[in-house]
């Protein structure tokens, strides 16, 4: 079926293990403030101008400030969820994965609000999985019961290669992967990325602190 359809950066409950953890050369942030403190030269794509009345072809070339990138839907097309005043990037197929890559200007960090939407393009509670890949490794995080302000960010000491987003399908009905307020940036000069064993030692010392009528295809 086919579906229809700012920045409220509030702290959301710790649903992704830790507020900052490392995987290979990637540090993971669930706090937008901490992510901004760890990066520089941020560019933001609020998806302004995205059509919320009709599907958008994939691939899609967009920019966040000075950083260009390409977004691809693995199945079918993109769908402009949300509202004309505040559109979100989503897919026209609930099982599709959104992948962002082809970053320009040597981007090293990426983040945004990741959550789910329903068949009409409105917010729907559910879980989403986000995977970041850089030249040294991969980090996969799942946000359980994501809300519109759920933030997840990745900062690399190497070159950022891709970011992918998919929805975890559950018994309560289809959920579509949705992204808003995409941030692309550079790693701050003072932000050293710890080795994985350093994070392990840190955790050992402090403990784990907190882990209309349009329709689209299901």
Compute the mean pLDDT over every residue in the chain, rounded to the nearest whole number: 84
Query: What whole-number distance in Å separates Cα of residue 129 and Cα of residue 152?
Result: 10
Q: Tens digit of pLDDT for each residue in 91-129? A: 999 999 999 999 999 999 999 999 999 999 999 999 999
Q: Tens digit of pLDDT for each residue in 146-195? A: 999 999 999 999 999 999 999 999 887 999 999 999 999 999 997 655 44
Q: Are 180 and 160 in contact (CB under 8 A)?
A: no
- Containing 180, the helix (H) or strand (E) segment is strand 176-187
User: What integer is the mean pLDDT of 197-211?
Assistant: 36
Angle in degrees, CA 23, 68, 185, rounded to 5: 45
Q: Which residues contact 204 (CB under 8 A, 6 or more apart)?
A: none
This prediction's pTM: 0.80
- Containing 19, the helix (H) or strand (E) segment is none
* Domain limits, the chain: 2-216
Q: Tens digit of pLDDT for each residue in 12-31? A: 443 444 344 444 589 999 99
């Amino acid at each position: 079926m086919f579906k229809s359809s700012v920045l409220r950066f509030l702290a959301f409950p710790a649903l992704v293990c830790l507020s900052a953890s490392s995987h290979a050369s990637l540090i993971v942030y669930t706090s937008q403030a901490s992510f901004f403190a760890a990066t520089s030269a941020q560019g933001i794509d609020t998806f302004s101008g995205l059509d919320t009345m009709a599907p958008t072809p994939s691939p899609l070339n967009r920019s966040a400030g000075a950083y260009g990138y390409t977004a691809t839907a693995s199945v079918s097309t993109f769908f402009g969820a949300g509202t004309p005043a505040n559109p979100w990037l989503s897919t026209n197929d609930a099982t599709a994965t959104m992948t962002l890559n082809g970053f320009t200007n040597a981007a090293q960090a990426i983040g945004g609000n990741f959550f789910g939407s329903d068949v009409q393009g409105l917010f729907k509670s559910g879980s989403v999985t986000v995977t970041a890949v850089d030249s040294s490794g991969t980090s996969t995080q799942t946000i359980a019961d994501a809300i519109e302000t759920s933030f997840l960010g990745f900062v690399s000491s190497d070159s950022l290669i891709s970011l992918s987003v998919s929805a975890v399908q559950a018994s309560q009905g289809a959920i579509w992967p949705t992204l808003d307020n995409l941030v692309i940036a550079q790693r701050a000069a003072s932000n050293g990325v710890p080795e994985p064993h350093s994070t392990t030692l840190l955790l050992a010392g402090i403990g784990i602190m907190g882990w209309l009528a349009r329709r689209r295809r299901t």
